[in-house]
Amino acid sequence: MIQRIIEDIEHLKIGLLGFRRSCFIPALKEYGLNYTFLQQYQDIDETFDFVVESGVYDIIPEKYLSKPKYGVIGIHESPMPEGRGHAPLQWAVLNNRPNLTVSLYRLNAKVDAGEIIYQQQVEISKLDTYEELEEKRQAGITKCFRNFLAELSQGVLVLREQTGASSYHKKRQPIDSCLDSTKSLDSLWDNIRICDNINYPAHFYVEGKKIILKYEVENDNS
């Protein structure tokens, strides 16, 4: 475990990177902290105290990770070192996990292998659709980052090494939204609900024709 003393967080220069960077803004505003939007990782420089990212698919080169005073901090939705790699939200569902673990960690040269700073458990339901899962993911990121800032405001940044057996998930492809039409819809529900209805809808084939399956969960009050 590594502890680093942070002085006067009100004057930290913070960079936000990635397409989910808006998840960090509510907590930053609560603590009255200023931030700068970065369009690409090449914008990271030595003037930042730290950069926090969520939704960056590129592997950030090590030379950029070392430029901010306290490094680059990232989000990964798995109980690392288990579940490193791609599509952690989808794999959490397919692996029948009752919770999504939002991990805040400091990036290093290896993929998803840096020191853990904070972890937040987010309960997920068997009826959660893709849109609801995404909402819970983003709310979990916001809460995780808020709790991190609460600790940081006490002047200490605690880093702990990842321990235990590691595992890696592969990148999902559009073909992964294709359903096995020989199986029942009930048994395929997890495969269906992790599909993005708009960009990567669940589908199957009948006599060579692609059949797109879009879904919604009926409200009890409807």
For residues 119 and 83, give the distance between their C-alpha atoms in angstroms, rounded to a whole number. 14
Residues 20 and 114 in one domain: yes
Residues 103 and 207 in one domain: no
Examine residue 40 and state whether it is found in any structural domain, yes or no: yes
pLDDT band at 99 (very low <50, low <70, confident <90, very high): very high
Average pLDDT over residues 162-175: 94
Report residue 130 as tokens: 């893709």
pLDDT band at 221 (very low <50, low <70, confident <90, very high): low
Residues 21 and 81 in one domain: yes
Examine residue 221 and state whether it is found in any structural domain, yes or no: no
- The CATH number covering residue 35 comes to 3.40.50.170
Examine residue 71 and state whether it is found in any structural domain, yes or no: yes
Average pLDDT over residues 63-81: 97
For residues 82 and 162, give the distance between their C-alpha atoms in angstroms, rounded to a whole number. 9
Q: Dump pLDDT digits (tens) for 112-136.
A: 999 999 999 999 999 999 999 999 9
Q: Dump pLDDT digits (tens) for 1-32.
A: 676 777 788 899 999 999 999 999 999 999 99
For residues 50 and 213, give the distance between their C-alpha atoms in angstroms, rounded to a whole number. 43
Examine residue 185 and state whether it is found in any structural domain, yes or no: yes
- 76, pLDDT greater than 70: yes
Contact indicator for 125, 96 with CB cutoff of 8 Å: no
Contact indicator for 159, 116 with CB cutoff of 8 Å: yes
> Looking at residue 114, what is its pLDDT?
96
Examine residue 220 and state whether it is found in any structural domain, yes or no: no
Range of the domain at 14: 2-169
Q: Which residues contact 69 (CB under 8 A, 6 or more apart)?
A: 46, 48, 49, 50
Residues 187 and 158 in one domain: no
Examine residue 222 and state whether it is found in any structural domain, yes or no: no
Q: Which residues of 141-161 are buried (b: 16+ CB within 10 A; e: fewer)?
A: bbbbbbebbeebeeeebebee
CA angle centred on 6, ends 28 and 16, rounded to 5°: 35
Residues 164 and 64 in one domain: yes
Average pLDDT over residues 175-193: 94
Residues 94 and 43 in one domain: yes
pTM of the model: 0.91
Q: What is the 8-class DSSP label of residue 150?
A: H
> Looking at residue 7, what is its pLDDT?
73
Residues 89 and 75 in one domain: yes
Q: What is the mean pLDDT of the chain?
A: 94
Residues 101 and 206 in one domain: no
Residues 80 and 106 in one domain: yes
Residues 104 and 195 in one domain: no
Average pLDDT over residues 49-70: 96
CA distances from 68 to 12, 43, 60, 103, 119 (A): 11, 11, 13, 20, 22
Share of the chain above pLDDT 90, in %: 85
Residues 28 and 89 in one domain: yes
> Looking at residue 219, what is its pLDDT?
77
Count structural domains, the chain: 2
Report residue 96 as tokens: 């029948």
- 222, pLDDT greater than 60: no
Residues 199 and 162 in one domain: no
